[in-house]
Amino acid sequence: DARVTQTPRHKVTEMGQEVTMRCQPILGHNTVFWYRQTMMQGLELLAYFRNRAPLDDSGMPKDRFSAEMPDATLATLKIQPSEPRDSAVYFCASGTGTSGIETQYFGPGTRLLVL
């Protein structure tokens, strides 16, 4: 049963520290999505990759967030420096099809707490 994996599952850090979240998409999926989920804002799309190319990162605060896909098996989301308002659950999802939203598979998420 193919799954999207995310590490770490939980992260507690102090304000100003760098945070790196990793995602392994399902083998063969050509699209990757990064989402952030908070009680106040719900689900927000942070970044979208197709065939490893970043096509949309307009949902990310550019000054502190960055997303990359060094290879087809790894997507990363970095926050530097982290701030308390970044506390949220971050989900990675991968998909196939024209855009990938036709069938998105979500990872279990990284729960981030910035103190």
User: Which residues are at the interface with another protein (CB under 8 A)?
Assistant: 4, 31, 33, 42-43, 45, 48, 50, 55-56, 91, 93, 98-109
Kindly tell me which of 82 and 104 has the beta carbon lying closer to another protein: 104
Largest CA distance in the chain: 40
Cβ pair 82, 16 in contact under 8 A: yes
Closer residue to another protein in complex, CB, 28/42:
42
* Comparison of 65 and 91: residue with beta carbon closer to another protein: 91
Q: How far is the CB of 48 from another protein (least distance, A)?
A: 5
Beta carbon of residue 81, minimum distance to another protein (angstroms, whole number) = 27
Determine phi and psi for 68, rounding to 5 degrees. -145, 160
Which three-class secondary structure state does DSSP give residue 7?
strand
Conformation bin of residue 30: beta by default, left when phi > 0, alpha when psi is -120 to 50: alpha
Q: Kindly state the smallest distance separating residue 16's Cβ from another protein, in Å.
A: 28
